Amino acid sequence: MNESTSKFHYVYILRSIPFPTQTYIGYTNDLNRRLRRHNSGKTFHTGKFCPWKIETAIALTDKHTALAFERYLKSHSGKAFARKRLMA
């Protein structure tokens, strides 16, 4: 197995702990590091709603598929899909 097939790319949905109606959709190849960055308050879009918890994370082996799925989840129909199928 080469590196391109063994490395995961994550599409994730975060939920703010103090503001549970606030969610954030993102992409990373290091989920734990990215969550720490969001919770550090240094990320522009998520800093004011810290701390965050991972609501959903989907691991994909293909980076382009992961980025396309992230774009879809950020679209109007993707947000509806995520609310219905990916979030509690």
Q: What phi, psi does 44 have (nearest 5°)? A: -55, -50
Q: Please write the tens of the pLDDT for every residue from 36-46.
A: 999 999 889 99
pTM, two decimals, is 0.90
Tokens 């129909």 appear where?
77
Instruction: Judge whether 10 and 27 are in contact, CB under 8 Å.
Output: yes
Q: What is the pLDDT of residues 8-30, one digit of tens each?
A: 999 999 999 999 999 999 999 99
Instruction: Provide the token pair at 65.
Output: 């598929």
Per-residue pLDDT band at 6 (split at 50, 70, 90): low
Please name each of the domains of the chain with its CATH number: 3-82 (3.40.1440)
